Amino acid sequence: MAAVPFPRSNIADLTDKIALITGASSGIGRQIALAYAAAGAYVVVADITSNPPEAPLLEAASKDRQTDQRTPTVELLNTNWPGNDGKDRCKYVKCDVTSPDNVAAAVTFTTESYGRLDILVNNAGVMLESFTTVPTLLHQTDVDLFDKTMAINVRGAWLGIKYATAQMLAQTPHSSGDRGWIINMSSVYGLVGGKYTTSYSASKGAVTSLTRASALEYAEHKIHVNSLHPGYCDTPLLEAVRRKYGGEQMEKAWAGMHPWGRITWPEDVAKMAVVLASEVAGFVTGQQFVVDGGFAIKG
């Protein structure tokens, strides 16, 4: 049995809340799923595949923090945090977040499986500039790369909010009086400029603005909408960069970019995601929560 990364009482109480997390088969989304299960929530993983990617370099970088990078998220949650009354702690639904039908179906699957939807985490995203062979300026960037980035990072989040809020408005409010909690995954590059990442930065800036606007629309309905802004994070998104320039070299470079002295860990972001889905943040909406070890403030 894999080690439990989050003791049950470690963060905040999400007992019996139902969460839908996009892109939760790996990276930050996977860690949020683990943290939510440890806090008592039931989780639906919505992703294009249920299996995490092969990530030997990530395993090496993460060996002191997490023992299992390869077991599917669903299996990991159901093994470590069995549900009550025979319910699965976690289920998987295949979902392309650019497809309205897929996103709507994921919301329907969640409600049919668990009876309601309390939490949506719009986590699925790409950073395609990291896969280019050389750093590219805006005028050198392929239009298709820009379009795909915007489709997944922005359209995906917009669709998630569209279908999740419709469900949250239709169901009985949570016992706290809240109708729902939505967390959008942005980035430090949704707040500050990022060289050679114009597509990614534009998409995350859009997610930041989308968060503010939708928070205003749904505040009167008691639906919280907030965004998370990680620094460079130890996930498969950075594997192409590690392979291109060398893992050890990039670890040192990334650590130097963060005043705290290390790269952001998925666990850092997951802990804040738990807080934002709990009563601890009961009077919080439309805000940007930066989890970056000081990256965005160093100037």
225, part of any domain = yes
140, part of any domain = yes
240, part of any domain = yes
| Count of domains forming the chain | 1
51, part of any domain = yes
Q: Return d(Cα 25, Cα 201) in angstroms, integer.
A: 23
Domain encompassing residue 285 = 18-297
Would you call 133 helix, strand, or coil by DSSP? coil
246, part of any domain = yes
- Give 215's contacts (C-beta < 8 A, 6+ positions apart): 224, 225, 226, 285, 286, 287
Q: Would you give per-residue pLDDT tens digits along the chain (299 residues)? A: 344 444 554 689 999 999 999 999 999 999 999 999 999 999 999 999 998 875 544 554 454 555 567 889 999 999 999 999 889 999 999 999 999 999 999 999 999 999 999 999 999 999 998 766 678 899 999 999 999 999 999 999 999 999 999 999 999 999 999 999 999 999 999 999 888 999 999 999 999 999 999 999 999 999 999 999 999 888 877 776 777 777 778 878 888 889 999 989 999 999 999 999 999 999 999 999 999 999 999 86
User: Residue 138: which H helix or E strand, with range?
Assistant: none
pTM of the model: 0.92
277, part of any domain = yes
CATH code for position 116: 3.40.50.720
How are strands ordered across the β-sheet holding 90-94? 90-94, 42-47, 18-22, 119-122, 180-185, 223-230, 288-291
Do the Cβ atoms of 291 and 269 come closer than 8 Å? yes
What are the two backbone dihedrals, phi and then psi, of residue 78, each rounded to the nearest 5 degrees? -70, -25
199, part of any domain = yes
Considering the candidates 92, 114, 200, 232, report the single residue annotated as catalytic: 200
Identify whether 42 is a catalytic site residue: no
7, part of any domain = no
